[in-house]
Structure 1
Amino acid sequence: MSPARLAADTVAPPAPHTLLVFLLQIGVLLGLALVLSRLARKLGLPAVAGELAAGVLLGPSVLAPALPALSAWLFPRDTAQMHLLDAVGQLGVLLLVGFTGMHLDMALARRRGRAAAGISAAGLLLPLGMGLWLGHALPAQLRPADADPAVFALFIGVAMCVSSIPVIARTLVDMRLLHRNVGQMIMVVAAIDDIAGWLLLSVVTALATTGVGAGEIATPLIHMALVILAFLTLGRQLVRRVLSAVGSSDSPGASTAVTVVLLVLAAAGAQALGFEAVLGAFLCGILIGTHGPKELTQRLEPLRTTVLHFLSPLFFAGAGLRIDLTALADPTTALWGLIALALAVTGKYLGAATGLFAGGLTRWEALALAAGINARGVIQVVIAVIGLRVGLLNTAMYSIIVLIAIITPLMAPPVLRLAARRIEESAEERLREHGLHAPEGQDTARASTEDAPGAAELIHDRGSNAERAPDAS
């Protein structure tokens, strides 16, 4: 057999029927996700709720029992067929998480880091501890039969303790609270939560795939140290030099291509070290947002549009395909779902309450902070999909976690609105709202746009960029 014939046989194209079904899946999922996300926004709900609902309607919850023949043809339970759709969705979520990292205000994080770290630690540890208890207390029908009980409980704890920067950013922008001090604090605490959550998730998934033991625990911790070291040294220099070189190009497409290459390679590096690929994309996004040229955001606008309105909706609609709401019809599953939701909310609110003491916040600021960091959404859906993929979740528990991800963002706006009305707006916040900030050392209580001409500069890039944060909420 000739080499050419061997190559043709080895890399055979997908069968015509497989390709047809794949194209129809994309068209139907994306079309319904677009319609339902627009409807969700009109109802004051986050767009991700509509995108997930599209998958729910086309999955085992609605379409399968209503039209089983059509469901089996359009969304067959075939591994190869599902992997095609998953591959597109995985690329979408990598880029989405990368964009999320680009919109972190690292200058603000350094400035308010001590108070934010204390609040974030409490907001992580309390839900984590409650999740560990829940993981051990859940009945057998909500646990995968072959999952290690300790790793399963730890995974539930991690899933309970995360927040979601895209959801929080979109909520704050929609409510015109991003310029407020409490809005900025919410973003910083959520950023710390997300970074810690990804690191914990990476360790847990490594344990799930390699087994529990001293060596297995030490290896991911060492690899984690290598990732952080590369992030702080080689990664920073590489991103700065590459983006600086591309920034001089007249072609906006070059910036887009290089950004995708950096995010994908960083994701591959994290995956090679046994971590989830999204961690690498997230850390790389922080570097790009911190060290990239100021005009990079505008150059990446076409890519951002593609990610937000094509790739990420496919990911969330695909995640919805795996939700089986019929599992919640079981009284035991429904009861434990309510318990999980109550624990998830309580943990975040109690964690934010530490801001009354450690962070010097007022009670209304602490309430607003709690409402903000309680919103899960995007990140928790990603974690749920990962748990399903590595065998740490069954369909019923996956559905419970995703429902928490949908419900908690809906709880934030009314509480934020109530608290914000009772927090006096400072002159510094009014300057920030107009893209200004008071000169360092000036009394912000007396500052104004007129008496601070030297402050007539744009607020830090990350803060203004956060107003354009991914709206896949």
Structure 2
Amino acid sequence: MHSAMGTTEIFLIAMLVIFTLPYLIWRIGKTDYWAPLVVVQIITGVLLGPGILGRAYPDYYAFVFNPQVMGALNGIAWWAVMIFVMIAGIELDLKKAWEHRRESTITATLALGVPLLFGCVAAFGILGYAGWKGANAHSWQFVLGVGMACAVTALPILILLMEKLEILREPIGQRVLRYASLDDIAVWGVLALILLDWERVGRQLGFILLFGVVTFGYRRLMVWLEERDRWFAALVWLAACGLAADWAGLHFMVGAFLAGAVMDAHWFDQKKLDLLRQHVLLTMMPVYFLSTGLRTNWAVGGTAVFVAAAVLLVASVSGKLVGTHLAGRILGWGKGEASIIGWLLQTKALIMIIFVNILLDKGIVTNETFTALLLMAIASTMLTVPVVYPKLQRVAALVFKSS
């Protein structure tokens, strides 16, 4: 029967698994409080990956997730995540950050810098053991990459969780978004530094210069176009920026973020932009989340991977909390404020997973390091709502505190 099936049929079997299994676990298990659907999709991918399903049932794993099917899934995943990252870039509100620049700069710097430092220390310790650093990595690239993975805040997932907590449109929610937006920019800047290729530095400098020139013309074009045409122009721009960045050696995801960052949110109807994000999350991102889980590997040994994940989780969470508490002292925040903001900003999931996928693609980290970081991101994100919700209940007045 297996041999009679073509690639199309096997691809559709994979799509059935991707859309059915995580949804049933999420809905029947009522996991939303602990694990949003996106987290369940990633966990399902881990369970279906080579380390668990592949080891228990190697024939079934090889049949469903064969190279042809994985190639098709990866194509969908790449385009989905490019659109998602572009939308995140569009929604960066730097004007608000500038209006509150002292508070935003101090908080964003400490909330990013302290966990980055803690993560780099943890990465330096991991570096002493074989099997964690990628084949193409210098030690500083590995340490900085893992450190930044500990410091990342996943802006799109943060938005979803704050909607669940009903604080997104409240003053505290808007403040947290400002801090996370500034950290987002830093993440992509650090990634560009890590990926800087001295053999292709001419290409990379050429890309940056050309991008600046073309952006000027593109922005003028977008102002001139009607809104219905801007959506098509944005997707053409996305593909072009992704292609140019990848050609230059900076990875197509850096191009996707830059493509969105130079666009203004007011060029698009906000409701349509929100709908686009939701539709991408619904129709295409499950493929990315599950295919990410499929990349996990336990070859170094399951215990070692879990120990590394635990160390990185401690570095990440403690770093965020220390950073926001320092900011709170400097800025005179009220009781409980720093803790709530710190726990919200340690939300990982999507952006960190994208970041670490790029490090894996470029040979900066191994599959084992990727797996440890993925487990850390899952645990970190699952902790957010259960920890923050009771804190908000105790400090209800904070929700309505003006920015």
Which TM-score applies when normalising by structure 2? 0.87
Give me the whole-angstrom Cα distance separating, in 2, the residues matched to 1:243 and 1:41.
45
Report the Cα offset of residue 236 of structure 1: 5.8
Match of 1:259 in 2: 234
Match of 2:75 in 1: 87
SS of corresponding position for 2:195: helix
Instruction: Spell out, residue by residue over 1:103-134, the C-alpha distance to the aligned partner (whole angstroms, 9 max, x if none).
Output: 33333222122211112112222222222222
SS of corresponding position for 1:324: coil
Match of 2:305 in 1: 333
Give me the whole-angstrom Cα distance separating, in 1, the residues matched to 2:103 and 2:184.
16
Give me the whole-angstrom Cα distance separating, in 2, the residues matched to 1:357 and 1:137.
30
* Contact 2:172–2:399 (8 Å) recurs in 1: no
Instruction: Spell out, residue by residue over 1:138-191, the C-alpha distance to the aligned partner (whole angstroms, 9 max, x if none).
Output: 111333355322221121112111111011111111111123322211111111
Instruction: Spell out, residue by residue over 1:34-67, the C-alpha distance to the aligned partner (whole angstroms, 9 max, x if none).
Output: 4345457653122211111231232223322332
SS of corresponding position for 1:109: helix
Report the Cα offset of residue 409 of structure 1: 1.5
2:370 is aligned with 1:422: no
Report the Cα offset of residue 102 of structure 1: 2.8
Q: Which one-letter code corresponds to 2:161 in the other structure?
A: T
Match of 1:365 in 2: 337
2:109 is aligned with 1:121: yes
Structure 2 gap segments, 5+ residues each: none
| Aligned counterpart for 1:280 among listed residues 227, 250, 255 | 255
SS of corresponding position for 2:359: helix
Give me the whole-angstrom Cα distance separating, in 1, the residues matched to 2:26 and 2:248.
36
Give me the whole-angstrom Cα distance separating, in 2, the residues matched to 1:408 and 1:427.
26
Q: Which one-letter code corresponds to 2:14 in the other structure?
A: Q
Give me the whole-angstrom Cα distance separating, in 1, the residues matched to 2:180 and 2:346.
9
Report the Cα offset of residue 351 of structure 1: 1.1
Greater RCO (CA < 8 Å, at least 6 residues apart): 2
Once the two structures are superposed, the pairs formed by residues 70-469 of structure 1 within 5 Å of their partners are 70-76=60-66, 78=67, 81-138=69-126, 139-145=129-135, 147-207=137-197, 210=198, 222=205, 226=209, 230=212, 235=215, 238-239=218-219, 241-242=221-222, 244-247=224-227, 252=228, 254-293=229-268, 296-300=269-273, 303-324=276-297, 329-330=302-303, 332-420=304-392, 421-422=394-395, 424=397
Once the two structures are superposed, the pairs formed by residues 14-93 of structure 1 within 5 Å of their partners are 17-38=6-27, 42-44=31-33, 45-76=35-66, 78=67, 81-93=69-81
User: Greater CA radius of gyration, 1 or 2?
Assistant: 1
SS of corresponding position for 2:363: coil
Q: Which one-letter code corresponds to 1:206 in the other structure?
A: L
Q: Which one-letter code corresponds to 1:391 in the other structure?
A: G
Give me the whole-angstrom Cα distance separating, in 1, the residues matched to 2:88 and 2:185.
11
SS of corresponding position for 2:196: helix
Give me the whole-angstrom Cα distance separating, in 1, the residues matched to 2:190 and 2:183.
10
Give me the whole-angstrom Cα distance separating, in 2, the residues matched to 1:264 and 1:40.
39
Give me the whole-angstrom Cα distance separating, in 2, the residues matched to 1:129 and 1:61.
31
Give me the whole-angstrom Cα distance separating, in 1, the residues matched to 2:398 and 2:145.
40
Give me the whole-angstrom Cα distance separating, in 2, the residues matched to 1:234 and 1:41.
48
Q: Please tell me the root mean square deviation across aligned C-alpha atoms, in Å.
A: 2.9
Give me the whole-angstrom Cα distance separating, in 2, the residues matched to 1:224 and 1:335.
40
Give me the whole-angstrom Cα distance separating, in 1, the residues matched to 2:29 and 2:40.
6
Give me the whole-angstrom Cα distance separating, in 2, the residues matched to 1:244 and 1:51.
41
Instruction: Spell out, residue by residue over 1:228-273, the C-alpha distance to the aligned partner (whole angstroms, 9 max, x if none).
Output: x82xx753662353254132xxxx5x45433322222232333344
* Contact 1:240–1:291 (8 Å) recurs in 2: no
Give me the whole-angstrom Cα distance separating, in 1, the residues matched to 2:310 and 2:399.
39
Report the Cα offset of residue 278 of structure 1: 2.1
* Contact 1:324–1:399 (8 Å) recurs in 2: yes
Give me the whole-angstrom Cα distance separating, in 1, the residues matched to 2:299 and 2:17.
22
Q: Which one-letter code corresponds to 2:246 in the other structure?
A: Q
Structure 1 gap segments, 5+ residues each: 1-15, 430-443, 445-473
Instruction: Spell out, residue by residue over 1:176-211, the C-alpha distance to the aligned partner (whole angstroms, 9 max, x if none).
Output: 11233222111111111111011101221234xx57
Instruction: Spell out, residue by residue over 1:360-406, the C-alpha distance to the aligned partner (whole angstroms, 9 max, x if none).
Output: 32242211110111111101111121122111222221111011111
Report the Cα offset of residue 20 of structure 1: 4.1
* Contact 2:360–2:370 (8 Å) recurs in 1: yes
Q: Which one-letter code corresponds to 1:128 in the other structure?
A: L
Q: Which one-letter code corresponds to 1:397 in the other structure?
A: T
* Contact 1:256–1:303 (8 Å) recurs in 2: no
Give me the whole-angstrom Cα distance separating, in 2, the residues matched to 1:103 and 1:303.
13
Kindly tell me: are residues 39 and 49 of structure 1, through their superposed partners in 2, closer, same or farther at Cα, counting changes over 3 Å?
farther
Kindly tell me: are residues 322 and 39 of structure 1, through their superposed partners in 2, closer, same or farther at Cα, counting changes over 3 Å?
farther
Residue identity (%): 23
* Contact 1:263–1:284 (8 Å) recurs in 2: yes
Give me the whole-angstrom Cα distance separating, in 1, the residues matched to 2:207 and 2:325.
31
Q: Which one-letter code corresponds to 1:176 in the other structure?
A: E
* Contact 1:95–1:281 (8 Å) recurs in 2: yes
